[in-house]
Structure 1
């Protein structure tokens, strides 16, 4: 296996950067890539756009920097916080989690008394930051503050387990591929997008500005390889998945076939992905302006939108290699 910069990955996974507040992880990424690109800029919404110049096909790559979070909506008299979701939050996964705010305040998620777990909804949950009353709580947090799950990223010789794998792992694959690309005529735009989890907003505006010839998004996808999982032909360790469709896109046949051809030519294992729910940045990109032929390279991931999303290092490595070949060969 090539030397993946796992220290960088750990820092990226630990960075507080929920949707709409991506500056911490953006700074990490900017520092990691500035020596490998010709131009680098941040657009008005906060997307980080890095260009490696070429005279050929204009290719936009997109991976989103943001992750899901919880936003404070109300502080009660006893100092407990009510919240709403920023992105897809599951009540069952959220119960008993530790959460951390941008300034380092840590709380835990508790619940009102309920008769059955079936009754567990977000409005039955609260955040306990250890405040004795409303006044004390208001010195610690404000309405509109956002916290995220708080746990240590774990990386061993086979796997990664962490919050924010969706989609720091896509961003990481783009970074590692950028370092490995040799010569290419393609005009490459590496776009690290904002606000994907709340409706692919950053990708939409970035694509409008870039007007790419083709686009590829990098994101995680679900798997069907756990006990009694919903049937799905994607599993950990079998390589990156080439998306066919999800709720937001039917991937362009030419882009999809080109990605498959590169995997076959370079002996890289791959899978085909049909996702029956959810979407990625490509959903917004492909209907920008007069249309952009788009595809998605998906990284198989278990336990999505939790603090223990799991991916295999072999899939990361194979994704980086496949991305390298996709980008450095000429695209018709």
Structure 2
């Protein structure tokens, strides 16, 4: 499996939270030959099971991406919307969005009032429609759209929309394809609706009830001029999560991950993310509690159409996940 080819295709699929059908099909088509059992649960999570008699380990990466949802169409044909996931309103003006039917529009703002007090109610999507009737032929209330951001390689870096979290999905897919013989009972779970409340991970973890879980996602960095203080940089290795706003990772799992990285000479960083969370936050509180850790890919400009990550960090994340999966716990 060519992870960069997979990642490019995955990022360009539009699958906003609650509308994950297309990305789920893409992942399913690519992993079905590498697992013993493939299923989809009621929440839409895709679960690839590689059977074993050892520890039951769940790896989770969310399939969904941030976007917008249509809430109203005014008389002039401008589309009003709400957010799906966390959006930086100031960064939305003049961005393009793409709806499931392929139609693109441009986000505009009621300039003066938006400058004074940014609010999503002051934003709209311009479809180029002449009036409401024409716009209603293009989109409907409840339609979702993702941001337009093509996949670009910049040296050791890749830039695209939806690296959060198609990069996590690609890492799970690659590791699964490389695992041949393994004693552990492995579940590779591609979850839904993470961006709107870690919802898919919660039900999947309840059903699987793993001994150990590892969530794979992106994390912020502290290596740009405007970044807050954070000991995470692009190109310095995969990130082993210590904590984020939703979880204090299990100490035993974290120690095992660090020892695995050291043993296999995998460069790593320790992640403390004070703003935001991942599927790990929902998983570790499921049932009577699940020992949970996290692998994170350092990523600049998260929740934008131009997220940036390092290829070497991605590859090292695959190596860490692979070695965690085959380890004797």
* Bin for the TM-score computed over the shorter chain: over 0.9
Q: Does 1:170 align with 2:171?
A: no
Are 1:4 and 1:317, in contact at CA under 8 Å, matched by a contact in 2? no
Matched positions, count: 329
Counterpart position of 1:127 = 125
Are 1:252 and 1:294, in contact at CA under 8 Å, matched by a contact in 2? yes
Counterpart position of 2:3 = 5
User: 1:142 and 1:115 mapped to 2: Cα distance?
Assistant: 27
The change in CA–CA distance for 1:46 and 1:325 in structure 2 (over 3 A counts) is same
SS of 1:147's equivalent?
Answer: strand
Q: Aligned-pair distance for 1:156?
A: 4.3
User: 1:117 and 1:229 mapped to 2: Cα distance?
Assistant: 23
Counterpart position of 2:299 = 301
Counterpart position of 1:241 = 239
The change in CA–CA distance for 1:123 and 1:271 in structure 2 (over 3 A counts) is same
Q: Does 1:60 align with 2:48?
A: no
User: 1:214 and 1:289 mapped to 2: Cα distance?
Assistant: 13
Q: Aligned-pair distance for 1:180?
A: 1.6
User: 2:111 and 2:282 mapped to 1: Cα distance?
Assistant: 41
In structure 1, the gaps of 5 or more residues are none
| Among 257, 260, 265, the residue aligned to 2:258 | 260
Deviates more, 1:300-309 or 1:179-188: 179-188
Aligned pairs for 1:99-138 within 5 A: 99-114=97-112, 117-138=115-136
Are 2:51 and 2:186, in contact at CA under 8 Å, matched by a contact in 1? yes
Q: What is the TM-score normalised by the length of structure 2?
A: 0.98
Are 1:50 and 1:191, in contact at CA under 8 Å, matched by a contact in 2? yes
Are 1:114 and 1:120, in contact at CA under 8 Å, matched by a contact in 2? no
Q: Aligned-pair distance for 1:43?
A: 0.5
Counterpart position of 1:24 = 22
Counterpart position of 2:148 = 150
Are 2:222 and 2:232, in contact at CA under 8 Å, matched by a contact in 1? yes
RMSD between aligned residues = 1.2
- Structure 1, residues 188-210: CA drift from partner, whole Å, max 9, x if none? 00000000000000000001100
| Among 191, 207, 210, the residue aligned to 2:208 | 210
Are 2:113 and 2:122, in contact at CA under 8 Å, matched by a contact in 1? no
User: 1:212 and 1:299 mapped to 2: Cα distance?
Assistant: 23
Counterpart position of 1:286 = 284
Q: Aligned-pair distance for 1:123?
A: 1.6
Q: Aligned-pair distance for 1:225?
A: 0.2
User: 1:289 and 1:179 mapped to 2: Cα distance?
Assistant: 30
In structure 2, the gaps of 5 or more residues are none
Q: What is the TM-score normalised by the length of structure 1?
A: 0.97
- Structure 1, residues 162-182: CA drift from partner, whole Å, max 9, x if none? 110000000100111111223
Counterpart position of 1:90 = 88
SS of 1:230's equivalent?
Answer: coil
- Structure 1, residues 230-253: CA drift from partner, whole Å, max 9, x if none? 100000001111111111100000
User: 1:328 and 1:230 mapped to 2: Cα distance?
Assistant: 36
Are 2:81 and 2:124, in contact at CA under 8 Å, matched by a contact in 1? yes
User: 1:37 and 1:262 mapped to 2: Cα distance?
Assistant: 24
